[in-house]
Protein backbone atom coordinates (compact mmCIF):
# COMPACT_ATOMS: atom_id res chain seq x y z
CA UNK A 1 0.00 0.00 0.00
CA UNK A 2 1.38 3.41 -0.90
CA UNK A 3 1.51 6.25 1.62
CA UNK A 4 -1.32 8.08 -0.17
CA UNK A 5 -3.50 4.95 -0.09
CA UNK A 6 -2.67 4.34 3.57
CA UNK A 7 -3.58 7.94 4.47
CA UNK A 8 -6.89 7.73 2.61
CA UNK A 9 -7.74 4.36 4.16
CA UNK A 10 -6.75 5.50 7.67
CA UNK A 11 -8.78 8.70 7.39
CA UNK A 12 -11.80 6.73 6.18
CA UNK A 13 -11.49 4.27 9.08
CA UNK A 14 -10.96 7.02 11.64
CA UNK A 15 -14.07 8.92 10.57
CA UNK A 16 -16.20 5.79 10.21
CA UNK A 17 -15.20 4.15 13.49
CA UNK A 18 -14.46 7.41 15.37
CA UNK A 19 -11.24 5.97 16.83
CA UNK A 20 -7.59 6.98 16.40
CA UNK A 21 -5.87 5.08 13.62
CA UNK A 22 -2.16 4.46 13.21
CA UNK A 23 -0.25 4.01 9.95
CA UNK A 24 2.84 1.89 10.51
CA UNK A 25 5.57 0.16 8.55
CA UNK A 26 5.25 -3.63 8.76
CA UNK A 27 8.23 -5.97 9.03
CA UNK A 28 8.41 -6.47 5.26
CA UNK A 29 8.47 -2.70 4.63
CA UNK A 30 4.88 -2.28 3.52
CA UNK A 31 2.50 0.19 5.15
CA UNK A 32 -0.44 -1.02 7.20
CA UNK A 33 -3.31 0.61 9.09
CA UNK A 34 -5.04 -0.32 12.36
CA UNK A 35 -6.68 1.21 15.42
CA UNK A 36 -4.18 2.63 17.91
CA UNK A 37 -5.67 0.57 20.75
CA UNK A 38 -4.78 -2.65 18.90
CA UNK A 39 -1.23 -1.65 17.87
CA UNK A 40 1.43 -3.26 20.06
CA UNK A 41 4.42 -2.91 17.76
CA UNK A 42 7.51 -0.75 17.91
CA UNK A 43 6.76 2.97 18.21
CA UNK A 44 9.60 3.77 15.80
CA UNK A 45 7.65 2.04 13.00
CA UNK A 46 4.70 4.44 13.28
CA UNK A 47 4.46 6.70 10.25
CA UNK A 48 1.40 8.73 11.26
CA UNK A 49 -1.52 8.74 13.65
CA UNK A 50 -4.93 10.03 12.61
CA UNK A 51 -7.27 11.24 15.36
CA UNK A 52 -10.85 11.91 14.19
CA UNK A 53 -11.40 14.33 17.08
CA UNK A 54 -8.36 16.53 16.33
CA UNK A 55 -9.04 19.79 14.57
- pLDDT > 90? residue 25: yes
Q: Is the pLDDT of residue 23 over 90?
A: yes
In a domain, 35, yes or no: yes
Q: Is residue 55 part of a domain?
A: no
Task: Tell me how many domains the chain contains.
Answer: 1
Region 27-39: mean pLDDT is: 94
- Provide the residue range defining the domain that includes 17: 3-50
Judged against a pLDDT cut of 80, whether residue 55 lies above it is answered with no
As a whole number, mean pLDDT of residues 17-37 equals 95
**Nearest-CA neighbor of 47 among 13, 18, 24, 16?**
24
Please report the pLDDT score of residue 15 as a whole number. 95
Q: Which residues of 32-53 are buried (b: 16+ CB within 10 A; e: fewer)?
A: bbbeeeebeeeeeeeeeebeee
| Mean predicted confidence (pLDDT) in 5-30 | 95
Return the beta strands (E) in the chain as ranges: 21-25, 31-35, 46-50
Q: Is residue 1 predicted with pLDDT exceeding 90?
A: no
Kindly tell me the sign of the dihedral angle through the C-alpha atoms of 19, 24, 27, 30: positive
Amino acid sequence: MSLAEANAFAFSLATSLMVSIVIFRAGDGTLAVMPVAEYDGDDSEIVREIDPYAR
